[in-house]
Amino acid sequence: MTYSKELRAVGQSLETTRIEVFELEKQERSYLVRGRSITPTCQWIIKNGINETVRDTWISDAENSPIKGGEGWLRYEPQILARLDAQGQKKRRSPLPAQAQPTSKPSQYLRTLGEHLDRVEAKAFTISWDHPYSVALSYQTPDGQTQERTFSFEKLHELGFHMRFRRSTRSA
């Protein structure tokens, strides 16, 4: 799965909690999300926002759960990302045309960042999210160089719009 899909899936699960400040780090095949506002209540909300099939997997095997968490952190494993993506695809199927759907959700911003990371073929990265101020992105390029970028949410919204336009012209 691409970074854009994985990050959108993480964003969709985080949207229900309205977490506004966090750090997201790619760790091998999983994602670690850290933030002071990730409390046991927040984790409960995320868990109960996941559909039954996924939730049953999580509850039945807490030791090998695809989402692990503790005070101030959550880890998303690859199998949960695929299921969250499938769940999100079902929700996104709506009678509204794509242009009419809201585009200022964390999942859309994270997808935009993921598309950028896919395009530059990043190997490792960290996203520092501080809504409504900015998003800082640090990533490692294929040749081992570290790049850093800071985006305002307005700039991310603009980039997301341009990327959606490119996707729609490619598929037309």
Residues 57-69: tens digit of each pLDDT: 544 444 545 567 7
Distance between CA atoms of residues 104 and 88, nearest Å: 16
Report the range of poorest mean pLDDT among 21-25, 43-47, 55-59, 157-161.
Answer: 55-59
pLDDT (tens digit per residue) in 93-127: 766 555 545 457 899 999 999 999 999 999 999 99
Distance between CA atoms of residues 129 and 131, nearest Å: 6
Q: Quick check: 111 and 157 in contact, CB under 8 A?
A: no
The whole-number pLDDT of residue 100 equals 47
Distance between CA atoms of residues 110 and 22, nearest Å: 12
The whole-number pLDDT of residue 51 equals 59
Q: Which parts of the chain fold into alpha helices (H)?
A: 3-15, 40-48, 52-60, 78-92, 106-120, 153-171
The whole-number pLDDT of residue 116 equals 94
The ranges assigned to domains in the chain are: 3-171
The whole-number pLDDT of residue 164 equals 67
Average per-residue pLDDT in the chain? 82
Mean of pLDDT values over 1-17: 91
pLDDT at residue 54 greater than cutoff 80: no
